[in-house]
Amino acid sequence: MHVRDLDSYHRFVGDCRRADGASVAAWMVEHGQARHWPRYSNGAYVGQQAKA
């Protein structure tokens, strides 16, 4: 995991990747297991949210 920031509650905000380099968050959003939060992702998962 690559920690990018801390949220207002001092929790880590990061980017997790699989061994093949694919984003875990992108997969989770696309498959309805997570929601896209533009505040922290800067719009990175808009396409995956639309597919979900």
Q: What is the pLDDT of residues 3-52, one digit of tens each?
A: 878 888 999 888 899 999 999 999 999 999 999 988 878 888 999 999 98
Question: What confidence score (pLDDT) does residue 3 get?
Answer: 82
The DSSP code sequence of 1-52 is: -EEEEE-TTS-EEEE-B-TTS-BHHHHHHHTTSS---HHHHTTTTHHHHHH-
Maximum pairwise Cα distance, the chain: 31
pTM of the model: 0.71
